[in-house]
Structure 1
Amino acid sequence: MTIDVTAERVIPLPPERVAAYAMDWRHDADWTQGIRTAELTGEAPEGGFGRGAEVTRTAYFLGRRIDYVLRVASYEPPWLLDMISVAGPMPMHVTYTFESHPLGTRARIRVRGGPGGLYRLAAPLLARQVRGNLVKDLRDLQARLVEQE
């Protein structure tokens, strides 16, 4: 079974503001469920963060520590950040999109992948947990941004 989960939320701020915060790996642990640390472990070919950069995250999911590396496949601020896992317990593809909306920004996160190892047995639970986490992520993203205004 593969996982394909999407969550979205309209955030009452412009896309440039929302995306600048959400696409900055230094904020990952502030608003993304379970992430304890995030570190830029490989720069983009032109330097810094961008297409080809790699971010190593340490997270806790279903009570287990997970270390994984996401490589930036597409980076088009303020509209798109697309990342694929290149190391970790399961294949994963994470996409953040930001669209203009009459009330601000429609922020969307999509996670796709196939559970590997022990997670294969828990695929239905995993999908529900991921969806719940994404909903909370977007709620927390909005709360962080609104409190900064």
Structure 2
Amino acid sequence: MVDVFTEIIIQSPRDKVSDYAANPNHAPEWYENIESAEWRTESPLRVGSQVAFKARFLGRELAYVYQVTEYIPGEKLVMKTAEGPFPMETIYTWESIGGHSTRMTLRNRGNPSGFSKVFAPFMSAMMKKANRKDLQKIKSILEDA
């Protein structure tokens, strides 16, 4: 089982942070490992939306499709892989802190199978490191904007 939780405080209003983070078009800008995001369904984002991502992780190219299973604009976004190398769920939450800051959380969890199962503990550590970098990147993008 892989279950990685990271969070960050961003000095920017919740609506601005959540609108940016929940937009798949921005993913390649702040996710170091994501190379592209392509809508499989019409935008805007809503429950049932599907987005195909191409990423590079641990030296491998990955292609997977996420489907939105829960979306409360400004508060929470839950996506699960509809297709891809192993079942994964990604959860974002946004919470206002004071007047102009936001606590953003990012959680990835899933069950690698087959050969990938052997690497689950290593994958967790690498994902946590990557997620921290990604949250630092979105923080710098939004605080400098």
Deviations 1:39-75 (A, max 9, x none): 11123xxx63211000000000100000000000011
TM-score (norm 2): 0.95
Map of 1:65 onto structure 2: 61
Q: Give the structure-1-normalised TM-score.
A: 0.93
SS of 1:33's equivalent in the other structure is: coil
Deviation at 1:118, TM superposition (A): 2.8
SS at match of 1:42: coil
- 1:76-128 Cα deviation digits (max 9, x unpaired): 11111100001000000000000011361000000010113332111111000
CA distance in 2, matches of 1:124, 1:37: 27
Structure 1 Cα separation of the partners of residues 32 and 116 of structure 2? 18
Could you say what secondary structure the match of 1:78 adopts?
A: coil
How much does 1:134 deviate? 1.0
Q: Is the 8 A contact 1:5 1:111 kept in 2?
A: yes
Which structure 1 residue ranges, 5 or more long, are not aligned? none
Correspondence for 2:70 among 38, 57, 74: 74
Query: What is the letter of the counterpart of residue 92 of structure 1?
Result: M
In the other structure, the counterpart of 2:80 is 84
**SS of structure 1 residue aligned to 2:40:** strand
Matched letter for residue 110 of structure 1 = R
Distance, in Å, in 2 between the alignment partners of 1:117 and 1:33 is: 26
Q: Percent identity?
A: 34
Which residue of structure 2 aligns with residue 121 of structure 1?
Answer: 118
Q: Distance in 1 between matches of 2:32 and 2:126?
A: 10
- The one-letter code sitting in structure 2 at the alignment partner of 1:68 is Y
Task: Structure 2: state its 5+ residue gaps.
Answer: none
Quote the RMSD (CA, aligned, Å): 1.2
| Total equivalences in the alignment | 144
Separation (CA, whole Å) in 2 of partners of 1:83 and 1:66: 17
Q: Which residue of 1 aligns with 2:135?
A: 138
Kindly indicate whether the alpha-carbon contact (under 8 Å) linking 1:89 and 1:117 is maintained by their aligned counterparts in 2.
Answer: no
Segment of structure 1 superposing worse, 95-104 or 21-30: 95-104
Distance in 1, matches of 2:113 and 2:22, equals 27
2:49 to 50, 53, 57: 53
Residue aligned with 2:77, SS: strand
